[in-house]
Amino acid sequence: MLLGGYGIALSGVGVINGILAGIGIVLMIVVLIDFPLRTTFSSAGVDRRCLFRNEHIEWSRVRAIVRPAGKRTFGYTRSSRTGLVAEVGKRPYLLVDRLESQPEHEALERAVSDWAPGLIFRASKPADGTAPTWLYKFRKGSGAESPLVDEL
């Protein structure tokens, strides 16, 4: 969008500038409507909070929780350092865009097995020392010795 806007500002509306600006606007709308700022997991399902909408996905609709595979480029596989995706039917829903810590991963895996028995959990375990994420939980307790997973 910036490239298209810059081109339009310099030389006016043209085909290339218009296409770049149009693609940028469409992508910005998708991000504003569908990119999760915060995701919470509960016994009722998954709540995704996006900038312009909130969405609740019940566990009965979720087929699997997965971590997308790493990209393969020029024969080399880059490691997957991505977040979590819920597969609802054939559509993937981004839940978290950052890799969670091991305590968060273990707590989520235990909670999902209690809340939705039989749900496929194909998210690989994060490496040791992965920093915790704040995207899908709030800190309830205090104390630096406890991991940042308090209520799942």
Residues 2 and 69 in one domain: no
pLDDT digits (tens, 9 = 90+) for 24-45: 889 889 989 999 988 889 999 9
The verdict on 105 and 124 lying in the same domain is yes
Return the percentage of the chain with pLDDT > 90, whole number. 36
Mean per-residue pLDDT, 12-32: 85
Number of domains in the chain: 2
Burial code (b: 16+ CB inside 10 Å, e: under 16) for 108-119 equals beebbeebbeeb
State the pLDDT confidence band at 134, using cuts at 50, 70 and 90: low
How far apart CA 143 and CA 121 sit, in angstroms, is 30
Q: What is the 3-state secondary structure (H, E, C) of 23-36?
A: HHHHHHHHHHHHCE
Q: What is the DSSP string of 64-77?
A: EEE-PPPPEETTEE
**Domain of 15, in residue numbers:** 1-34
pTM here?
A: 0.70
Average pLDDT of the residues in 87-108? 88
98 and 47 in a common domain: yes
| Distant-in-sequence, close-in-space partners of 44: CB < 8 Å, separation ≥ 6 | 56, 58, 59
Same domain for 49 and 28: no
